[in-house]
Amino acid sequence: MRANKGFTIIELVVVIVIIGILAATALPRFVDLTGDAQTASVQAIGGAFGSGVNLTHASWIAQGAVAGVNSTTLEGGITVGMNDSGWPENNAAGGGDGTITSAECIMVWDSILSSAPAVATDTSGEYQATVATPICTYTYNASAGRTIAYNASTGAVTITVP
């Protein structure tokens, strides 16, 4: 009598088919990491922008927290113009008038973020700035559905990602 050792060809084929099915279902999850990277990038920039807005507001409070304080100077000598509520509105020493424009949205972005990604009123930058007073919306051009919204009246920064 002979002792059976090893696997039959049928058993090997079944194992290979099972491994193939597992690879086919798992592979797309690991291959398309671009969307995850873009989401992480927008969340990081949005978090930094929100922190900058709050630090700028804290500087306004430290200066007396009154409507007469029109601007604050950040580290590096960058001037940020404030509205009467103490939230960034532009980069003018004279402050803001409470009505933020697309150009002022870009000024706030560039003033608060060090080495900021390019932002423009059209799609030529990494982000596109649009405004519906008092909210500036920065839309990430590389991928739809990723935005950072800044409310110049309340200082709220909202990050939207799919």
CB burial of 137-161 (b: ≥16 within 10 Å; e: otherwise) equals bbbbbebeebbbbbbbeebebebeb
Question: pLDDT of the chain along its 162 residues, tens only?
Answer: 666 677 788 989 999 999 999 888 887 777 777 888 899 999 999 999 999 999 999 999 998 888 778 899 888 888 999 999 999 999 988 888 888 999 999 999 999 998 889 999 999 999 999 999 899 999 999 888 999 999 999 999 999 998
β-strand partners of 137: 130, 149
Spell out the domain ranges in the chain. 35-160
What's the sign of the alpha-carbon dihedral 101, 157, 74, 55? Answer: positive
The reported pTM is 0.79
